[in-house]
Structure 1
Amino acid sequence: MVLVRRLSAERHTAGQVEEHCITMAEADTMCELIVKWSAKEYLISLPRSTGTVMCLKKAIEFNTGVKVERQKLLNLKFKGKAADDGLMLSALDLKAGFKIMMMGSLEQDITTVATAPENVDEVINDLDLTEEEIALENREEYLAKIGKRVDSYEIKMLNEPRPGKKLLVLDIDYTLFDHRSAAETGNELMRPFLHEFLTSAYNDYDIMIWSATSMKWIEEKMKLLGVSTNQSYKILAYLDYLAMISVHVPKHGLLDVKPLAVIWGKFPGVYTSKNTIMFDDIRRNFLMNPQNGLRIRAFREAHLNRDKDRELLYLAQYLKDIAPLEDISQLNHRSWERYRPSKKHK
């Protein structure tokens, strides 16, 4: 017998060893996959002929600790739809080293979120980075990655850029939408004043949505929230996780980030560091362009907080106040709540 994955002796019982063992004959037809989750990669090996999607999920739970019911395997598709749990891996015709993007939270993290103090300002799992650690923008290896994204990635365009408008780039999960809580309708999980915020911002900014999920999920969420059909504003484009790059920070390891230079490279002379701002609930997503990022407070536990959350109303005013400025990258967006426009810009 051989183990599917090298396991530390202290972690597995006799039952777990039996569950994660295969015969030598089966090892010749192993399906080796890479699961990306929480800025880490996990090698999962399963028998191609007898392994199912559920077997894969159980192996992922064993390796990451994320329970099967909390896993979202974003790009594991069969005939254009999410692969069913009972589907054989052989039917998916996955190549060796195929990378699966997973979303999911550990039980202890969910418990922490559920019991977090109401006024906690820092986002869970966000980073406390030094200046040295965020000086990544001009590293050659990352510029090369960005160049590849500019050349190969196709932004999903919905409308045309408008001359003279600045650019607002928005995250979705916990920024516009509580994607963890249960509800009967999307409106129950939508951040308060979302449509008022987008309507106000649209006067001065073209708006792009950039989420670390798949394009299908972005489209579904925008439809669910009524953003894609709203007549008061228009979304310029969508970007998904494929537009992101990985960077290495000594203290925190490998991290996936959203480099705005991908957008700037796609729209040379139209959008630049001077006229772009990004809202995201996790600061690490704008490590490559910290001067353009504003970390919004995460919107969680929608049922408890939707009657008192006013973040988008205040940010709508901030966007309006800074819109006349020629270079908004010179602002300290961490202090956005204290910003007051000068008289000449009123």
Structure 2
Amino acid sequence: MASTASTSSVPEEELTLMVKWSGKEYTVRVCGDDTVGELKRRICELTNVLPLRQKLLYPKVGSKLTDDSLLLSQLPLKSSIKMTMIGTTEEDLIVDPVDSPEIIDDFELGQEEAVDIKDKEVNKQKLKRRINNYKIVLKTPCRKGKKLLVLDIDYTLFDHRSTAENPLELMRPYLHEFLTSVYSEYDIMIWSATSMKWIDLKMGQLGVLDNPNYKITALLDHLAMITVQSSSRGVFDCKPLGLIWAQFPEFYNASNTIMFDDLRRNFVMNPQNGLIIKPFRKAHANRESDRELVKLTQYLLAIAELDDLSNLDHSSWEFFTEENAKRLRHT
């Protein structure tokens, strides 16, 4: 029979930490299989201090709290310990996230390793916790019978590293035409590995949030991501579509969802649903020649009539034709 002690009702791997910041104490619940980066993400949920702005102080671990990939189980942490956080919120420090590390060296995991990550129980538990902790706020209602398109921002819709007096100069060509066309068949969600304030600001500047020709169903930020670990590539963040499917099961699932991103690692929990989009960099030089969204519009509309998208090989999307769609509809 389980003990009635107050600590016994909490799983052994679960930790309740106290974080002191700006004269207040915050209770943060994490697990041993979470990383330091995940801890910072939880702190961000409570304080609005972005992970990259946080400096965590706890004398017993020294500088180890600067390594976001380190598992908390590798640190001498126990429930009820108190640590101090130093950091500034975005309200007090409005900056573009260009000073965050840029990920250019994308990688492709081997088939077996990708399946292993997707099916690992520890990652399923992380997804379950994320589903419980992160609530997607709808900007417009989900539409019955529509498929779901999930879009990244940086280098997918917008060149966030180049400079310009007007953000519209950095917008990917044909963005509004693309969103207008696919909206007839797809609900559209935007998921960026940045903060919600940044997403709101940039999408507002580009005229995406109030366009009369299409609607954005929801915005998701970095707090919706989870951290996973691979034997060959170490620890990294990804975007689990299961979070969306769990919160809107009557509308979206693995058979009717497609996600565009310039980093394939973001698909690791849902490799069959991801399409690698060519990155849009050096906007000033490439603005006249980039037609990626024009070609992708044709692809999305061609596959929209299929009942199940999960059998498609999105890596071959450029070779897909209307004839392929007709053939698949009749098989």
TM-score of the pair, normalised by structure 2: 0.71
Match among 249, 254, 264 for residue 273 of structure 1:
254
**In structure 1, the residue corresponding to 2:150 is in which secondary structure?**
strand
Alpha carbons 2:143, 2:251 under 8 Å: kept: no
Matched, 1:191 2:201: no
Match among 134, 142, 151 for residue 123 of structure 2:
142
Alpha carbons 1:35, 1:41 under 8 Å: kept: no
Amino acid at match of 1:104: S
Match among 185, 188, 191 for residue 207 of structure 1:
188
- Residue in 2 that maps onto 1:90: none
- Residue in 2 that maps onto 1:255: 236
The structural deviation recorded for 1:43 is 9.6
Cα distance in 1 for partners of 2:168, 2:131 equals: 35
Cα distance in 1 for partners of 2:310, 2:57 equals: 49
Cα distance in 2 for partners of 1:218, 1:84 equals: 13
Matched, 1:133 2:127: no
Distance of aligned partners of 1:148 and 1:102 in 2 relative to their CA distance in 1, 3 Å threshold: farther
**In structure 2, the residue corresponding to 1:191 is in which secondary structure?**
coil
Cα distance in 1 for partners of 2:198, 2:277 equals: 21
Match among 291, 296, 302 for residue 321 of structure 1:
302
Cα distance in 2 for partners of 1:160, 1:41 equals: 33
- Residue in 2 that maps onto 1:63: none
**Structure 1 unaligned runs (5+)?**
1-33, 48-59, 61-74, 86-100, 110-123
Alpha carbons 2:240, 2:267 under 8 Å: kept: yes
**Structure 2 unaligned runs (5+)?**
1-35, 41-50, 59-65, 67-85
**After superposition, what is the alpha-carbon deviation per residue over 1:167-214, rounded to whole angstroms, capped at 9, x for unaligned?**
000000000000000001111000000000000110000000000011
Amino acid at match of 1:211: S
Compare CA radii of gyration and give the structure with the larger one: 1
Cα distance in 2 for partners of 1:257, 1:193 equals: 27
**In structure 2, the residue corresponding to 1:254 is in which secondary structure?**
strand
Cα distance in 1 for partners of 2:98, 2:159 equals: 18
- Residue in 1 that maps onto 2:26: none
Match among 62, 81, 86 for residue 91 of structure 2:
81
**After superposition, what is the alpha-carbon deviation per residue over 1:273-300, rounded to whole angstroms, capped at 9, x for unaligned?**
0000000000000100000000000000
**After superposition, what is the alpha-carbon deviation per residue over 1:49-106, rounded to whole angstroms, capped at 9, x for unaligned?**
xxxxxxxxxxx8xxxxxxxxxxxxxx9544x614489xxxxxxxxxxxxxxx995247
Cα distance in 1 for partners of 2:87, 2:267 equals: 27
Match among 211, 214, 217 for residue 230 of structure 1:
211
When the two structures are aligned, how many residues end up with a matched partner? 255
**In structure 2, the residue corresponding to 1:255 is in which secondary structure?**
strand
- Residue in 2 that maps onto 1:55: none
- Residue in 1 that maps onto 2:152: 171
Distance of aligned partners of 1:157 and 1:184 in 2 relative to their CA distance in 1, 3 Å threshold: same
**In structure 1, the residue corresponding to 2:190 is in which secondary structure?**
strand
Cα distance in 1 for partners of 2:208, 2:121 equals: 38
Matched, 1:104 2:100: yes
The structural deviation recorded for 1:44 is 5.2
- Residue in 2 that maps onto 1:3: none
Amino acid at match of 1:297: K
**In structure 2, the residue corresponding to 1:279 is in which secondary structure?**
strand
**In structure 2, the residue corresponding to 1:256 is in which secondary structure?**
strand
Cα distance in 1 for partners of 2:181, 2:135 equals: 28
Aligned-residue RMSD, C-alpha:
3.1
Alpha carbons 2:150, 2:189 under 8 Å: kept: yes
TM-score of the pair, normalised by structure 1: 0.68
Report sequence identity in percent: 51
Cα distance in 2 for partners of 1:198, 1:340 equals: 20
Cα distance in 2 for partners of 1:181, 1:233 equals: 27
- Residue in 2 that maps onto 1:307: 288
- Residue in 2 that maps onto 1:283: 264
Alpha carbons 2:54, 2:87 under 8 Å: kept: no
Cα distance in 1 for partners of 2:87, 2:190 equals: 23
Alpha carbons 1:201, 1:316 under 8 Å: kept: yes
Cα distance in 1 for partners of 2:101, 2:134 equals: 28
Cα distance in 2 for partners of 1:149, 1:315 equals: 31
